[in-house]
Chains A and B, each alone.
Chain A
Amino acid sequence: MAADLLQPPSFLRPAETLSISQQAPHFFRAQRPSILPYPLSLLTNTESQGKWQTYENMLLACLRTGDNESAYVALEELTKRFGDDNERVQALRGLLLESTAKDNKDLEGVLKSYDDLLEEKPTNMPIRKRRVALLKSMGRTADAITALTELLDASPIDAEAWSELADLYLTQGSFSQAIFCLEEVLLVTPNAWNVHAKLGESIYLSASSTESDGDRLKALSEAMRRFCRSIELCDDYLRGFYGLKLTTNRLLEKLNKTSKPATASSNALAGDLAPPSLSSVQRLNELATSKLAEIVRRSSSGEKGWDGYDQAEVIAARELLDRDTQGVQR
């Protein structure tokens, strides 16, 4: 259980979050400071490495389940320990206010308080991020994007913010901006296999929206390369293999249709690569199919050491494979 408590609850499923928030009252009682006088109280000190992380996660879990009283207790403890002007505590306080806000007017009030805090100290990053999140939550996506680009101007190595901006652009359907943001994330964290996969997905989406045939081929091969990189960085990566299968399916259709394959790069000066050959795409497609089949098989038979996949993802992969076999049979 302690392991779960050290992970932010947004990573967890609702049932797990509920079980954590139900422990909260008991947990706070156990963590209460001792009543012994000063030198003796050091002996019974409960402050450990993970304590305050646990408090923060408890607070987030309680907010998510709607247990505002326990959340308030946790926030009070954090304020007592780190002070009222701690930026992280301020952001958590804002989170509590946001989640207890009844209507839009309350939310405007919270937004106003964020603006006041930023007036006082413009480098307050947690609050700037909260402000963006609140704008997004209120449906003012354009404002959120503007605020976020300002934040990134000030701090261009914040991978989390670049990733959030990419997501915002994706919701707006501006693929090229989203792709740019994800590439920025990769500059900061070049080994993040999930970002490689996400970039592949974004390029795949942008390929569907382009008109010209050549551009689409280029985008699809680029997406394929991104997915290849993600599975190069991570064995048995379901998301990467799924994307690889999807893109190579599309690429095979495309390459089969075009009579003469372009062997040279379209724009060598810009560093563009030539589209992949038909045989290599075919081999990649076969690899992705066999790997997906293996993952689906082992995960659904509950094999030891294969329990980490999300069930929804496994079902989606199975459907993709089924669709493929039906196509072959017809």
Chain B
Amino acid sequence: MHENLLRKDNKAPDIDTSKEENMGLLSYALNTFGLVLLTHAYVYHNKQSRKPLTHNHSVYSAYEHSLLPRATSAAPTSSSLLSSLNPKIDLPLDITIETLFSVLILCVGVVLGSPDLQPIQWRVWAGKLEREKAARSNEGGLVGNPYKALDERVGFLDIRAKRKEFAEWVREGDKAGQS
């Protein structure tokens, strides 16, 4: 029965890697596109500003634009606190839509480009340790199997047996090399 299983999906690894690359490319493209849109929205916004530009800081000028109506109005009808909480901003609709859309795209791009999540379930984490060599190394702050020390007890290391085992391995390696 497992003979059949053996033959099935031998190609799986290739598909997996190409998929990962595609995802990386997609998130990269989305991020770039979103950033371009966001910058564009701010720059566009800037040009719409009725106030003469004193400096080139686009984000700051968006803030300035939001202050404009209050500065031009003759007398503030409500208290200054209320008006600062609820400023009357007359942004053109296309800028609003562009900004929201670019932020949405950026969100999707960042989520797609995020690294794989680490397992938080015990059995998944343990299974990963058993399955993968990479998960056992200390890289990335993950320590290897903490219970391995119960199988291979360093405190009770029988060094003479280990030496003998190693010497035998060397001798066998020599024999295999000669034949």
Contact = CB atoms under 8 A, between A and B. Distances in A.
What band does the interface of chain A fall in when counting residues whose beta carbon is under 8 Å from B?
Answer: 35 or more
B132 interface: yes
B86 interface: no
B64 interface: no
Interface residues of B, number: 51
B122 A306 contact: no
Contact of A308 (B16, B130, B139): B130
Given A133-B156, A136-B158, A238-B130, A185 B6 contact: no
Contact of B147 (A66, A195, A301, A321): A195
A262 B13 CA distance: 49
Chain B interface mostly: helix
A130 B122 CA distance: 34
Contacts of A137: 158-161
A129 B135 CA distance: 31
A206 B126 CA distance: 28
A159 B153 CA distance: 10
A305 B119 CA distance: 14
Given A301-B10, A304-B13, A305-B131, A95 B147 contact: no
Chain A interface mostly: helix
A193 B170 CA distance: 33
Nearest to A239: B130
A76 interface: no
B136 A308 contact: yes
Contact of A133 (B1, B126, B158): B158
Interface stretch (A5-13, A23-31, A264-272): A5-13
Interface string A287-330: 00100111011001111111111000000001001000100000
B13 A14 contact: no
Contacts of B161: 137
B175 interface: no
Interface stretch (A35-43, A172-180, A209-217, A227-235): A227-235
Nearest to A189: B147
A21 to B, nearest CB: 10
B103 to A, nearest CB: 35
A65 B152 contact: no
5 contacts: A8-B152, A18-B166, A95-B159, A136-B158, A160-B149
Interface of B: 1-2, 5-6, 8, 10, 12-13, 16-17, 122-124, 126-139, 144-145, 147-163, 165-167, 169-170
